[in-house]
Structure 1
Amino acid sequence: MPKSTEELFAFLDGLGIEVRTVTHPPLFTVADSQALRGEIAGGHTKNLFLKDRKDNFFLVTVDEEATVDLKSVHQKIGAASRVSFGKPEALLDLLGVMPGAVTAFGAINDAQGKVQVVIDSGLMEHEVINAHPLTNTATTSITAGDLVRFLRATGHEPAILKVSE
């Protein structure tokens, strides 16, 4: 059973990580997010749940304005072949979220470490990063350093790479 938002917040609190969360109507796309979020400071994320032909899974997190070339990103992230979007069933099974709520915080649900987390180096230039807390009805702000600390605490060493164009 995937962790709840409350369990995520308890995990973050247990690590001594302070976050700020704003609730809002459900957001499914970056355009929805830009139109409805109001003024939340920091970098806002776009997340790509990808898989290669050998069923290796990747969560690529970039700035919402970033462009990722799906025809060549496999070379940057170390995939065994070109990548495609992972199926919603795999997304739910591995990260515990539905399409529209994909987030780096989903790493808390990948206890077996089947998903390689990749964060675009451009996103890490922001002091604060904003992501869905396992639901698309809220946005949680976390410092870039604390996001990395969270990911490591879940057993995911994030690859911080230049993946955007």
Structure 2
Amino acid sequence: MPASQDDLFAFLEDLGIETTTVNHPPLYTVEESQGLRSAIEGLHSKNLFLKDKKGALFLVVAQEEAVIDLKRLHERIGASGRVSFGSAELMQSLLGVLPGSVTPFGVLNDREAQIRVVLDRALAGADAVNFHPLVNTATTTIASKDLLAFLGATGHDPLLLDFSDASANPDL
């Protein structure tokens, strides 16, 4: 049984991590969620559940405005060939979430650490960042240092990449 929103909050509390959560109508896309920006401080993200041709799994967590070239992303994240989106079934079995609810908090359900988390440096360096708490009817704000602590506690130390640095990758 995948972790629930309550399980997530209990896990964060056990780690001594403080968060704030705002409930809202279901949001499925970055565009839909942009209407809440004035009510929720901090950076917001886009989250991509991906797999490569050998079946390796990646969760790319980037600042919402980042432009990600899926044709070249594999070169930056160490994937075997181009990446494609993981199926909804695989997402639900490993992250415990449905499409529209993808979040780094989902790695709480990936107990065998099968998924490689790729985190945008812009998010890692922000004061506060926002993600769905396993459901798309709420948004949880967490300090970026606490997000890193959460990821480490779940066995998912992230690969940090700068998705906004055009000189490092002119096609992204």
Aligned twin of 2:40: 40
AA aligned to 2:130 is N
Deviates more, 1:153-162 or 1:17-26: 153-162
Aligned twin of 1:11: 11
1:116 is paired with a residue whose SS is: strand
Aligned twin of 1:158: 158
How far off its partner does 1:163 sit?
A: 3.6
2:44 is paired with a residue whose SS is: strand
Deviations, residues 55-103 of structure 1 (Å, cap 9, x unaligned): 0000000011111110101111110110000000010011000000000
Aligned twin of 1:23: 23
Aligned twin of 2:57: 57
Structural RMSD (CA): 1.0
Deviations, residues 131-161 of structure 1 (Å, cap 9, x unaligned): 0000000000000000000001011111111
Deviations, residues 104-139 of structure 1 (Å, cap 9, x unaligned): 000100001110001011222311000000000000
Contact 1:24 1:37 in 2 (8 A): no
1:129 is paired with a residue whose SS is: strand
Aligned twin of 1:80: 80
- Percent identity over the alignment is 55
Aligned twin of 1:137: 137
AA aligned to 1:72 is R
TM-score by structure 1 length? 0.97
Aligned twin of 1:101: 101
Aligned twin of 2:167: none
CA distance in 1, matches of 2:75, 2:49: 16
TM-score by structure 2 length? 0.93
Deviates more, 1:30-39 or 1:129-138: 30-39
How many residue pairs get aligned? The number is: 165
Deviations, residues 13-41 of structure 1 (Å, cap 9, x unaligned): 00000000000000000011002454211
Contact 1:77 1:163 in 2 (8 A): no
1:43 is paired with a residue whose SS is: coil
CA distance in 1, matches of 2:161, 2:75: 11
Structure 2 unmatched ranges of 5 or more: 165-171
